Amino acid sequence: MLALCITALVLYFPANIFPVLELHFLGSVRTTTVIQGAMSVASQGYWVVGIAVLVAAVIAPGLLILSVLTQILIVKYQMKNPFFRNIYRHLLRWHSLLTELTMLEIYMISIFVSVFQLSDYTDLYFGIGTFSFSILFIVVIFLQREYDIEHMWNQLNE
């Protein structure tokens, strides 16, 4: 799980910083990142949708990765100090909420739908952001598959 967390953390930044799509339409070139897409939707008056995209595709996955990484490090280095045990307990309590808020698959589906819809009208190019986001999606799926909340709670009691 530690390797998956580090991989996810490494992929998280390029997935959110680099453009996901590049559109070429009638000589105009447009690029957008995940964050710019969420802000664009919010600025068009759909601020609830923009916030939902920002939370589900950027904030929650980052917090989930950092939460699992912190939990692993606390268990790995046997930090039995009450301060670390308290942090560990809070992270375990918030884990299910972060898992529910992390909806990278919804964003991936929306990318596929927009690509198929726009492919007749414009030329689409995928960049390093698309690749990073796709691999991040797969790594987070494997990370959630390997994560066992009961085992992590048992580590607290030992």
Amino acid 150: pLDDT: 92
Distance CA 33, CA 20 (A): 5
Domain extent at residue 19? 2-157
Site of tokens 């580090």: 6
Please count the structural domains in the chain: 1
Q: Where are the alpha helices (DSSP H) in the chain?
A: 2-17, 34-43, 47-54, 60-76, 82-101, 104-118, 128-146, 149-157
Instruction: Count Cβ neighbours within 10 Å for each residue of 28-51 and write b for 16 or more, e otherwise.
Output: eeeebbbeebbbebbeeeeeeebe
119: helix, strand or coil: coil
Tell me: the pLDDT tens digits for 105-145? 777 777 777 777 777 777 777 888 889 989 999 999 999 99
111 in Cβ contact with 126 (< 8 Å): no
| CA-CA-CA-CA torsion sign (140, 142, 145, 150) | negative
Q: Can you give the C-alpha Rg of the chain in angstroms?
A: 18
Residue 57 has pLDDT above 80, yes or no: yes
Tell me: the pLDDT tens digits for 72-118? 999 998 888 889 999 999 999 999 999 998 887 777 777 777 777 77
